[in-house]
Amino acid sequence: MAGKRIRSIGVLTGGGDCPGLNAVIRAVVKTAVNRHGLEVWGVQDGYLGLIENRMDRMGFNDVSNILTVGGTILGTSNVANPFRYAVQSGRQIQYRDLSNDCLRVLADREIDALICIGGDGTMATAAQFAQKGLTIMGVPKTIDNDLYGTDVTFGFDTAVRTATEAIDKVHTTASSHHRVMIVEVMGRYAGWIALYAGVAGGADVILIPEVPYDLGKVCEYVVERSRRGKRFSIVVAAEGAKAKDGQMVISKRVAGSPDPIRLGGIGPVLAEQIGGRTGLDCRAVILGHIQRGGTPTPHDRTLATNFGFTALELLMKGVKNHLVVLKNGRFSSIPLRLVAGRIRTVPRNHSLVRAALAVNTSFGT
């Protein structure tokens, strides 16, 4: 496909849903049709739609009124990997490589390039397709904000707002009942949501996967607060947070998923442990998928629109097999192969970590 003029594109959304996906789809479709006169195919349910040959032509009418709507009108899947597709065979799961079938589906429909909107898993698969000759442009999505190569992903700002509002609400119960309230937020291997929402919500303790905590230190900190007359504490914990000598809390394993581990439950575990050790009254709240829902913030709508527009502009200029990124305030792109298999975690010397420490927030160390 190298060097071939692009006349028709496909667009898909992969991985977990996230506020702003529709804003990207809208920008991609409108820019493609309006500025470049392209044919656009909307692939349903991420890579599953490629595997099952499910896609529809898209025009202006299909993307009107979706800018403010959460989720994705195309549907998504975080279990369908065309290179390792799980097929149930009796009681066993067998894995099949269906990537060539997907390429055939695209060729039959004369689709010249694919816009893949997704996180690390989606980009890893996109990079594999690129190696097989497909022209790809990636757009960085995830509430976790952990995609390598970009300073920010769309969806993160909305998730932080949702989590911050939840922390604000929990504050009143904490202070009225003199409790330790633990708010568990998403973030498997990166604690960006916990860090930003924790600082914004004035959390006393922030626990992130990058900084394994010492339970004794967390308990000392909340007890010391109550000694000083602060009879409540707020602990914000990323779902991937773990004790120095402990493990992440796994809620379930999803067979066939590229990353089969689903986390969840560190909040209740901490409530039990802190309550047991300190005698303080503790409660946990797990925010879960609430963080992935709702209307995107203005920041995420504009970021998503810029990402979608930039993806099309770069593709039509001949850039291929790249991920659109925002780096130091500038929209550009980097090769997909640099992104695949890597994530962006919170550096221990990040300015917000230092600011949090300066205002006496504990990271449990």
Residues in touch with ligand F6P (CB under 6 A): 16, 78, 119, 142-144, 186-188, 239, 262-263, 292
Nearer to ligand F6P, 250 or 357 (CB): 250
Distances (CA, A) of 18 to 11, 22, 228, 259: 16, 9, 41, 18
Nearer to ligand F6P, 198 or 275 (CB): 198
Least distance to ligand F6P, CB of residue 239, Å: 6
Ramachandran quadrant class, 187 (left: phi over 0; alpha: psi -120 to 50; beta: rest) = left
Q: Which residue is nearest to ligand F6P (CB)?
A: 186
Q: Where are the beta strands (DSSP E) in the chain?
A: 8-13, 39-43, 55-58, 85-89, 92-96, 113-118, 135-140, 180-185, 205-207, 233-238, 250-253, 261-263, 282-286, 322-327, 330-335
Catalytic residue among 112, 144, 146, 157: 144
Least distance to ligand F6P, CB of residue 291, Å: 7
Residue bearing tokens 């066993």: 92
Burial of 252 (0-12, 13-18, 19+ CB in 10 A): exposed
Nearer to ligand F6P, 39 or 146 (CB): 146
Burial of 43 (0-12, 13-18, 19+ CB in 10 A): buried
Contacts of 265 (CB under 8 A, 6+ apart): 184, 239, 249, 250, 251, 286
Q: What number of residues does the chain have?
A: 365
Active site residue 157: no
The three-class DSSP label of residue 243 is strand
Both structure tokens of 195:
């860090």
Least distance to ligand F6P, CB of residue 292, Å: 6
Least distance to ligand F6P, CB of residue 53, Å: 24
Considering Cα of 36, then 37, then 39, then 42, what sign does the dihedral take? positive
Least distance to ligand F6P, CB of residue 287, Å: 10
Nearer to ligand F6P, 216 or 260 (CB): 260
Nearer to ligand F6P, 93 or 107 (CB): 93
State the catalytic residues.
Answer: 144
